[in-house]
Amino acid sequence: MSKLITKKRAITAGSLVMLGITLASSIALAASPSFATLSAIGPTGYGRPTSTNGVSADAGEATPGEAEAGAATTNYSTTVWTVSGANLLISGSTTCYPILNAAMPGFVSAQAALGNNVVPDLKQGGSGVGRTDGGLGLNDLAASSSAFKTPADGLSKAKWGTQDVNHNGLADPTDVTSAVPMWDVTKIARDGVVVIINDSVNAASINLTKAQITAIYGAYKPNGSSWTLKSTAAGDAYNGIINWNQVGGPNKSIVPIAREVGGGTRTSFDDFIGVSEGDEVATINATGNHRFQGNPGVVAAANANDGSANGAIAYCGLGFTTGLSHVNEMNVNGIAPTKQNVYGLTYPFSRFLQVATLHGWTNPRTVNAQNAQKFEQYLWTEPGQDAVATADFLKLWPDVDVNKDGNVDITDVAGVGMSWMQTNPTGHWIRADVNGDGSVDITDVAAIGMWWMFGYALP
């Protein structure tokens, strides 16, 4: 875990000038060999560090290669591969899909320049589908917006024995592994799960807390084949919230919209608010069964202006909120889902987006396995991370963290100085054009200073 920047600094024109004055001494610091090592991440400078037994050899909040936990799945694969001759099979999260789709052309082009013809088949379906495919050895890379579990998504050895995992044409005992399946996970981007309310509800007077959102999406509990509204009088932890007037809004029924079962954003959201699957299912069923496939489906339903979303509340990944005209993005506990708050993990519903392969399992599709690893590494390069931004999600490191050390401080100013002195900057110093205006100059120092002196923290 990296250090938090906690000291607040008043921003004045003079202080920014002083920050610029420090540039000269920072340049000397940046030129030293010991400082240059701060930008090294893993053995190749980018990409996946060596991992052992499913656990990363390189610790860190945004470090790839670690075994993690996440929701189990019980469904078999629904993925249908359609690209002839594909040698990179990726399936899973609808949240991760725009990032992977944006990064793929650059990756294919870069590999072609090296003489490697990559033919990808990229499918959505939800995080649960991706994890199921991965657990059964049916894809080369599983994408998930919620965490991965061990053993791999609860797939028992018996289930492994019912699938042709090793692709020898038979579902037989050779498909059963003696090792517990583990995940090797690579974080590819940051994200926040955003709560949105249809503009049929006057949101100006509503200040939602995490506890209130819990009481909305967990308003009911199962009762046999039906459901019952939660009540403290009946011994429940809270009273179910089913009308906007219970949280300072108008007298209007709340219509909670949710993702399909198996969706990674659904799993993340329910984990964030602490609602069990049984209570969530009871609540969605009791309020009209407004459940939709993928982030695009949820957003389209919540953003409707035809009366079908009257009173609606929903949730989606941060990258799906662009261009919505009939919803309001809500603060949670008074904290807005901004870039700084997601990076600093002060926004309560902050998370990482991830891809993974099974640890210790030899993919019989050898070329595919190699392409999967190369794609993971590409996602950590500057072009790969630029694709994250293109898809309206957050890079693993904000642009102001020039040297990618998890802090925004004077060493990043030094990074700008290092690039300023070079005609063709290389490595992490390519990031020195912090404000993206095509040049490296004092305005990039100012951009770092604005972030640094506000005291924004990075995990």
Question: What CA–CA distance (Å, rounded) separates 185 from 147?
Answer: 9
Average pLDDT over residues 357-364: 76
pLDDT band at 131 (very low <50, low <70, confident <90, very high): confident
pLDDT band at 128 (very low <50, low <70, confident <90, very high): confident
**Single-letter amino acid, residue 359:** H
Structure token digits, residue 40: 């090294």
pLDDT band at 136 (very low <50, low <70, confident <90, very high): confident
pLDDT band at 424 (very low <50, low <70, confident <90, very high): low
Residue 268: half-sphere exposure toward Cβ, Cα within 13 Å: 28
Tens of pLDDT, residue by residue over 48-89, are 322 222 322 222 222 222 333 333 333 446 789 999 999 999
Residue 174: half-sphere exposure toward Cβ, Cα within 13 Å: 7
Superfamily of domain 51-190+352-390: Periplasmic binding protein-like II (3.40.190.10)
Tens of pLDDT, residue by residue over 147-192, are 886 554 444 333 444 455 555 555 555 554 434 456 788 999 999 9
Question: What CA–CA distance (Å, rounded) separates 330 from 207?
Answer: 8
Structure token digits, residue 344: 């600093």
Q: Does residue 45 register a pLDDT over 90? A: no
Alpha-carbon torsion (327, 328, 333, 335), positive or negative: positive
Q: What is the mean pLDDT of the chain?
A: 75
From the CB of residue 320, how many other CB atoms can be counted at a distance below 10 Å? 26
What was the pLDDT predicted at 344?
79
What was the pLDDT predicted at 174?
55
Average pLDDT over residues 423-443: 64
What was the pLDDT predicted at 440?
72
What was the pLDDT predicted at 16?
40
What was the pLDDT predicted at 419?
65
Average pLDDT over residues 10-20: 41
Check: CB of residue 357 under 8 Å from CB of residue 131: no
What was the pLDDT predicted at 214?
97
Check: CB of residue 393 under 8 Å from CB of residue 99: yes
What was the pLDDT predicted at 165?
53
Question: What CA–CA distance (Å, rounded) separates 365 from 87?
Answer: 8
Place of tokens 């401080």: 409
Q: Which of 372, 367, 336 is nearest to 357 (CA)?
A: 372
Identical fold between 51-190+352-390 and 191-350: yes
Tens of pLDDT, residue by residue over 363-407, are 888 999 999 999 999 999 889 999 999 998 999 887 777 767 666
Check: CB of residue 453 under 8 Å from CB of residue 15: yes
What residues form DSSP beta bridges with 394?
A: 190
Instruction: Indicate the range of 81-85, 87-91, 347-351, 436-440 predicted with least confidence.
Output: 436-440
Tens of pLDDT, residue by residue over 102-113, are 999 999 999 999
Question: What CA–CA distance (Å, rounded) separates 251 from 201?
Answer: 9
First to last CA, the chain: 6
Check: CB of residue 393 under 8 Å from CB of residue 190: yes
pLDDT band at 204 (very low <50, low <70, confident <90, very high): confident
What was the pLDDT predicted at 197?
97
Q: Does residue 262 register a pLDDT over 70? A: yes
What residues form DSSP beta bridges with 90?
A: 122, 141
Q: Where are the domains of the chain?
A: 13-41+404-454, 51-190+352-390, 191-350
Average pLDDT over residues 254-275: 92
Tens of pLDDT, residue by residue over 289-305, are 999 988 999 999 999 99
Tens of pLDDT, residue by residue over 307-345, are 999 999 999 999 899 889 999 999 999 999 988 888 878
Instruction: Indicate the range of 150-159, 224-233, 429-438 predicted with least confidence.
Output: 150-159
What was the pLDDT predicted at 150?
58
Integer angstrom CA distances of residue 387 from 47, 196, 383, 457: 15, 25, 6, 24
Largest CA distance in the chain: 73
Q: Does residue 283 register a pLDDT over 60? A: yes
Integer angstrom CA distances of residue 104 from 108, 109, 197, 244, 294: 6, 8, 33, 43, 21
Q: Which of 227, 77, 276 is nearest to 164 (CA)?
A: 77
Question: What CA–CA distance (Å, rounded) separates 447 from 413?
Answer: 10
Q: What is the SS3 string spanning the chain?
A: CCCCCCCCCCCCHHHHHHHHHCHHHHHHHHCCHHHHHHHCCCCCCCCCCCEECCEECCCCCCCCCECCCECCCCCCCCCCCCCCCCCEEEEECCCCHHHHHHHHHHHHHHHHHCCCCCCEEEEEECHHHHHHHHHCCCCCEEEECCCECCCHHHCCHHHHCCCCCCCCCCCCHHHCCCCCCEEEEEEEEEEEEEEEEECCCCHHHCCCCHHHHHHHHCCEEEECCEEEECCHHHCCCCCCCCEHHHHCCCCCECEECEECCCCHHHHHHHHHHCCCHHHHHHHHHHCCCCEECHHHHHHHHHCCCCCCCCCEEEEEEHHHCCCCCCEEECCECCECCCHHHHHCCCCCCEEEEEEEEEECCCCCCHHHHHHHHHHHHHCCCHHHHHHHHHCCCECCCCCCCCCCCCCCCHHHHHHHHHHHCCCCCCHHHHHHCCCCCCCCCHHHHHHHHHHHHHCCCCC
Question: What CA–CA distance (Å, rounded) separates 282 from 43?
Answer: 49
What was the pLDDT predicted at 79?
86
What was the pLDDT predicted at 59?
23
Q: Which of 166, 88, 71, 176 is nearest to 126 (CA)?
A: 71
Topology, domain 191-350: D-Maltodextrin-Binding Protein; domain 2 (3.40.190)
